[in-house]
Structure formats: C-alpha cells, structure tokens
Structure 1
C-alpha cells in the first residue's frame, strides 16, 4: 500500500510539474503583433533606380549545423555541436560574407542572439561588428524560455531571428507575422514565422521592397499554404501601388516547376516533407530566380556525406514583373559550416 501511495505521489508531482511548465511557457510565450514597425527614417537617401543590385540570401543554421551535425527535427539526435565548432563556423561564414564585395543586401536567417544551442553567443553582435559599413536590421522569430525537446538533451533557451545587412538605408522596415498557427501546446515552443520588409526610395519616385523571409519548415502543409496565401495577398497589394518587390530567403519549399528530386532521388520525408510551390501561385510575370545546378540545403538526418546526404533546393528569390534578373548563383560550400548554401542574385529594375 505504501508503495502505491509513493508511486501515486510521484505521478501527481510529475503531472503538476508538467502543468506548471505549460502554464509558465504559455504565459511567457512570444506573441508578436501581425505588423510591427521596426524602424523609420524619413531622411533616408534616395537610391538610383538605374543601378544593378546584388543580393545574397543564406540560412546560416545559427552557426551550429555544419557538416559534423545531425539534428533531431530531421531524424537525427543532436541539438548542438561543440562551442569550438560553433565559433569556427561563425568565423568561416563571416569570412565568406566579407569576401562578397559586390553584395549590397545580405539576407540572413537563423541568427542566434541568446541560445543554449550556441552557448549564448550573440551572433548578431559579432556580425554587426564585422559589417560596420552596413546598416543592420534584425527581428526575432524564435523566443522561447525553454524548449523541452529532445527529452535526453533539451534545446532549452532560444532567442533567434532573421537579419538584413544593407549598404542602403531604408525609410521603413516592418515585421509581418505569417497567418496560421500550429496547434497548442506545440506552437509555444516553435518559431513565430515572419517576413521582414525593407522599403527604399528610388530616383524614379517609386519604392523598392526588399523582403527577407523564413517560411514554415516542420509545420504541416495546411500551415504552409496559409503562409503562402498571406504573403501573396501582401505582394499583390504592394505591386498594385507600383512598387518593385524582391524576396529572398529560406522558403522551406521548392520553387515553382522545379523537381524536388533533382539532386537526390530518395528523400526521407518522415520529418521534413518538401512541398513545391504551385505553378499558379502568382500571376504571369512574377519570376522565380534560382540556380538549378546546385542544391541549397541538405537533410540533417546524419552528418554530411557528399555522396549519400539527401540534398534539395529551398533557398531562392522571387521577383515582381518590373524587375529583371541579371544572374543567379548558388555557391557550393559543401555544407561545411551550415546546412544551407548561400545564393547570390543580381537584378536590375525595369523602367
């Protein structure tokens, strides 16, 4: 009888602890508004509309998902690499970015500012110090006091987001939250997906919108479709105003018309299911800009192996009909310091 009482007391304690943890996590959950005005500068310089612009988009995997890593969300087991490897990844990523002299816009995803998985290194601060000639803009998309999975080695505290480094000062930047939520309680531990809009004045009296996006990954297909529909409505409204619109980032989906099995025939889709964007998603004239010869992402079910690791293309650009593509190139870095490869595009504005 005493044994049963003891077991009952333990179970009651565990249940109460779980309930209290959920209450705490719910109370401290990051709940950003649908639209947040991040910065505003009415005296921002006007950009020459005749210029060509070069942009780089790269999900840097919080400098923790290099070639040595697998990841539990992708069917692996780990949540972080060593501190030494994290610092080495950050150093190599920084060196590559600084070597891209022609780039005017760096669109980066998964930058940690305070997280257990990156040993509480403020990566944004480190990058900002190196990019002292650039304007720096950052918004959070993941702020959780304690991520309780995986059970054996919880991810713990996470503050992370997306950052844009630009040579030009925007007159307005805005964070837009994607509509559609994951079911409770899972959503209080997952990313609060968003896209980050940077508005620039042009000499032709129009505006250029440069958008940094990081779309849904492990969420189900219905959530991904809601996010795309929300983004589409935003794009249509802005294009009707005569704006130029350029989007780059980690879409976590394949571009329209691209065979997802181009680089790997057998994709392990139990954890991350790759869904191509529908061909009729946008009206004629909108242009998906990607390098079809090189993968941009690898699966993290195992440490990287050049011959056997599944590889896909999910990082690319989208151009409004009034923008012309000049070039596109994915730099094949063999996923040494991130599970993504950087993608570089050059564009020019039509009259």
Structure 2
C-alpha cells in the first residue's frame, strides 16, 4: 500500500515536472527576440511637411490596453486582477479613449500599451480600432509585449499577449524604426516580461533638417530601477548622437519615473510612495534639454486598488524631453479621473526654432 502511494505521488510529481518543463521549453522556443533595430512600416503616410516656426501639438497617452479603468486594480501592483473586467467594459473604455483622442485634434500622438490580440483585452485589435477612428494620420506600430502565455496569477492568468507602442503623425515621415532597449530579468522571468523599446520617427522639416520623434515606454517593476538605469543610459547615448547631427528632438511617453520639476506631494493621497516608482536620476541631464511636463496634473495612479479620489497615490510620469532648438509653448495634462486608463494623457505645444 505504501509503495503504491509513493508510486502515485511520484507519478504526480513527475507529470508536474514534465508539464512545467515542457511549457518553459515551448515558451523559450517561441520567445520574441527582436533585433537591436528594426525598420517598421509607416501606414497611411501623409504629405504635409513641417515648417520651422510653425506650432504643432503632440499628445502622449498610455491607454492601459483599455482595461485599467477607474474600477480596476492590477496584480503586479498589489491588486488581484490580470485582465479587463469584461469585453463590454474594454470596448467602452476604448470608445472613450478614441473620443478623447479625436477631440484633441493633435498633430501627433504617442500611445503605449495598445493591444493587438491579448487575453487581457478579450482579443480586441485596438491598433485597428484606433486606425479606423483617427483619420488623416500616419501610423507606426512596434511590438513590445509578445508572449504565447503568461501563467500568472495561477488561477486567473494574464494569458496570451500581443501588445505594443504606436506613433501617429499628421506630418510626413521618412522612416520609422524600432529600437530595442537594454535590460532583461533572469530566466525564466524574462520569457514573460515586456521587451521594452522605443519608436523613432523621422519627420522632414522644410529647412532641410529633421524632427526626430521618440515614443518610449520604460520598465516599471525592475527591482531598484536597475533596468531603467540601463535604459536611460541607452536613451542618453541616443540623444547625444542625434544632437550632434543638429536635428530637432522630442523624446516622450511613459518614463515610469517621477519626472523632474514635479512632486507627487502636490496630489494629496492616503497611500504612500509605491515601490515600483523611481525618482528621476539627477545624473540624466542632456545638455540644454528641457522637460515639457504639467506639474499640476497627475498622469498616473496606483492600481493596487480601484481609483478613489484622495486615496490612490498619483504622480507625473508621462511627458516630453526636448532639444534646445525646440520651443515649449504650452503643456497641459488632462485629468480624466482615470475613467478609461490608469494614466492620464498629456498634450504639449511646440515650435521649432
């Protein structure tokens, strides 16, 4: 009897080991491995050419895969949910996001966490839906999260993910490139993490120069911000090279740092500073560059609990860094009370000097 029991237990353990091993092998063999740089398609390219001295607007918005609305929490931040509450709610959130973006009439948009086909957003192709609703723009999309199956949380797994970042422009682009950002967690965690990246769009200017747009989304849950430091070093080196060419440069998106010139204390909350949020390193100071941020409007909330005014910690982590030859005219954060996403959008108006 004892031998039979041991045999059964041994068989169960062996089956579990084989299952886990087989699963890890499958995910490893299907791991998304982007090249350091990859050209990406520019769909619906426009003919409009940017002029020096002409003002233009740019909005950045991490749409949270249209799933992290005000009633949601997220397991990675201490909550319990891994997916949007329902397909109906996801579509409602996406409709609200589309309505906001359309009403802004910005000349350019930086979008992050846009799903193509993910369990968390009920396989809704958000890229296609945004293309339908925003006419008169070119579209450049790059993957940064492509995993066949994310098995956590165990009882409500994140599932399959295919998501990325997206840049829209009403001006002509000559090229669009995906730049892979450095930094990986140890195996096997790296198999299930995002492959962080930024999109570079090169916009010709009438005076013969280029406006280089960089839409980025840095890491969030790297312990101690170690990977973010590597990514900022990479971005800093990139900025230096482009500055030496004499081009105009706007780097923006979701930095996952409390941005310079802002203070979360401006937004009263009962929650304290979350572990995942890093202060922006003082050592990162590209010469002559300026930050375009709205210090009075929070751009992100904590998602360990649903949103409650005065409870959730909020900060400014979305904004723009611009080269000395770009004038900042105005910056406006839009406090949507996290109705559709855990982030709020930010719009800036610029002029090329």
Instruction: State the TM-score, normalizing by the size of structure 1.
Output: 0.95
Match for 1:269 among 274, 281, 291? 274
Where does the alignment leave 5 or more consecutive residues of structure 1 unmatched? none
Please name the residue that 1:26 is paired with.
28
Kindly indicate whether the alpha-carbon contact (under 8 Å) linking 1:146 and 1:157 is maintained by their aligned counterparts in 2: yes
1:178-189 map, 5 Å: 178-189=181-192
Please name the residue that 1:248 is paired with.
252
Structure 1: how far apart are the matches of 2:86 and 2:134? 26
Matched, 1:12 2:17: no
1:153-302 map, 5 Å: 153-220=156-223, 221-263=225-267, 264=269, 266-267=271-272, 269-270=274-275, 272=276, 274-302=277-305
Please name the residue that 2:140 is paired with.
137
Structure 2: how far apart are the matches of 1:180 and 1:79? 24
Q: After TM superposition, give the deviation of residue 342 of structure 1 in Å.
A: 0.5
Match for 2:57 among 54, 58, 62? 54
Structure 1: how far apart are the matches of 2:286 and 2:270? 31
Structure 2: how far apart are the matches of 1:343 and 1:89? 18
Instruction: State the TM-score, normalizing by the size of structure 2.
Output: 0.95
Structure 2: how far apart are the matches of 1:43 and 1:126? 19
* Residues paired across the two proteins, number: 347
Q: Give the secondary-structure state (helix, strand or coil) at the position aligned to 1:128.
A: helix
Kindly indicate whether the alpha-carbon contact (under 8 Å) linking 1:295 and 1:313 is maintained by their aligned counterparts in 2: yes
Kindly indicate whether the alpha-carbon contact (under 8 Å) linking 2:48 and 2:170 is maintained by their aligned counterparts in 1: no
Match for 2:150 among 147, 152, 171? 147
Structure 1: how far apart are the matches of 2:317 and 2:286? 21
Structure 2: how far apart are the matches of 1:23 and 1:173? 33
Structure 2: how far apart are the matches of 1:292 and 1:326? 15
